[in-house]
Structure formats: C-alpha cells, structure tokens
Amino acid sequence: MTGSDGSGPALIGALKDFNAHWERTAAVWHDAARARFEEDFIRELTESVRSAANAVGQIEVLLNQIRRDCS
Amino acid sequence: MSQRPARIESPEVIKELRNRFVILDQACRSLLMSCYADVQDARQQLRTERPLFWKHEVRRREEALAAAKQELARARLAAERGVRFAGVDEQRAVERAKQRLEEAERKLQAVGRWAVLLDQKADKLLGPVNALLILLDQQTPQAMSRLDLMLDHLEEYFRPIPGDAT
C-alpha cells in the first residue's frame, strides 16, 4: 500500500501560499469587487480546503494503521 | 461588477491572482486525487492481495510448525533410545513456529476486519474531499471568468489614450 503522508499539511501549505498572496493584494486592490470576490470565492474555498485537509489527515492515519496491522 | 471606479493599481495584480488561483486549484486536485488513489489502492489490496498473501502465509507457517513438531518428535524418540536428548533447540523452534503461525492468523483476521472498516470509514472521510473537488469544479471556472472580465475592463482602463503624452 502506498502512502499519502503529508497531503493534509501540503493542502494547508498551498492554501496559506494563496491566502498570503490574497492578503498582499489588499495593498493595491481595495474596492467592492475585491470584497465580493472574497465573499464569493475565497471564504468558501478556504473553509473547504481546511475541511478536506483535516479529512485527508485522518485518512492518512487510518491507512498507516492498516499498513501496520496488515503487513 | 461594481459601478464604482475600480481601486486597483495595475492589471498585473489580477493576472498574478489568477495564476495563484490556478496553482491552488491544481495543487488541491493533485493532492486530493493522490488521497483517493491511496484509499482505492488500500481497498483493492485488502480485498485481493493481502488476504491471498496471509492465507498463503498461514498455510506455509502451518507446514513449518508441522515440520518443527516432527523434528521435536524425532529428538524425543532419539532421547528414549538413549541418545543424548537435544530437544531444547527443537522445542524453541516449535514455539517460534507457533508464534509465527499465530501472527499470520491475526494478520489474516485484521485484513478481513479492515476491509469492512475501511469501506465504512473512507466513505465518511472522503466526504470533505469530494466536497472540495465539486467546489473546485464549480467555482474555479467562475472565478477565472470573473477575473478575466475584470482584466478586460482594467486593460481597457489602463490603455494609454493615443496622443495623450501625460
């Protein structure tokens, strides 16, 4: 069985990179369009990535346990 | 689109954001698909390769135990005939063979148990993974369209007016 060790943290890392860039845009882009973009896309995406990263982490723990028990 | 003037210093900001969005989308998809593949791989192995392996090991270790017991019986027989009893090693070999057989039996049981448990748990845990993939399928194209539209407007706004030297 192959491993997917670290996919959860990698997802969080990718999200952090994106969010850091998003925050930097605030200095040069500050209008209603930005606020609406955040409301329509960024917030839900952030929550969904965090939730998926948590699930992926639990899956990795589960698969590691299976590897230990069945190998 | 807001009817108020855009407060943005350059279209490059939107271009870079668009790039970053695509990178995030691709990173998420790649990691999630890898997670899916690992779960599918584990399911497949628990249904096919692992049970076969451990069934084979149980048989092999049963045979090894039987052989070890035979060796012990031979040693005991030799002792009864007056040959110096040298059954200590043979007794240890039997114990080791028993332990190895018990281990294989435990592993075989674990494989069966995990095959059922993984199906139950993975379906629940893959829920948020599915949700993110669906969200990316729906929202990434929408976000790209919105940013592309903004870029069109901004490039028009920032385009130098012919003859305007300022």
Give the pLDDT band (50/70/90) at residue B135: very high
What's the rounded Cα separation, in Å, for the pair B12 and B1?
18
How far apart are the C-alpha atoms of A4 and A64, rounded to whole Å? 9
The pTM for the full model equals 0.82
Answer yes or no: are the C-beta atoms of A49 and A12 closer than 8 Å.
Answer: yes
Alpha helix ranges (H) inside chain B: 11-47, 49-80, 87-158
B102 pLDDT more than 50: yes
Contact A48, B131 (CB under 8 A): yes
CB contact B151 to A (< 8 Å) = no
Q: Please, are residues B71 and B87 in contact by the beta-carbon 8 Å criterion?
A: no
Alpha carbon separation from B141 to A16, A43, B72, B122, B134 (Å, rounded): 21, 16, 73, 29, 12
Average pLDDT of span B126-144: 96
Residues on chain A touching B14 (C-beta within 8 angstroms): 29
Residue in B27, B114, B146 nearest the CB of A37: B146
ipTM metric: 0.90
Task: Return the pLDDT at B78.
Answer: 82
pLDDT band at residue A50, thresholds of 50, 70 and 90?
A: very high
pLDDT at B2: 42
Instruction: Give the distance, in angstroms, between the CA of residue A57 and the centroid of all CA atoms in the same chain.
Output: 11
Predicted confidence (pLDDT) per residue in B106-124, tens digit: 999 999 999 999 999 988 9
Q: What is the pLDDT of residue B85?
A: 63
Place of tokens 């900001």: B13
Distance CA B155, CA B142 (A): 20
Largest CA distance in chain A: 57
Flag if A55 and B27 touch (Cβ within 8 Å).
no
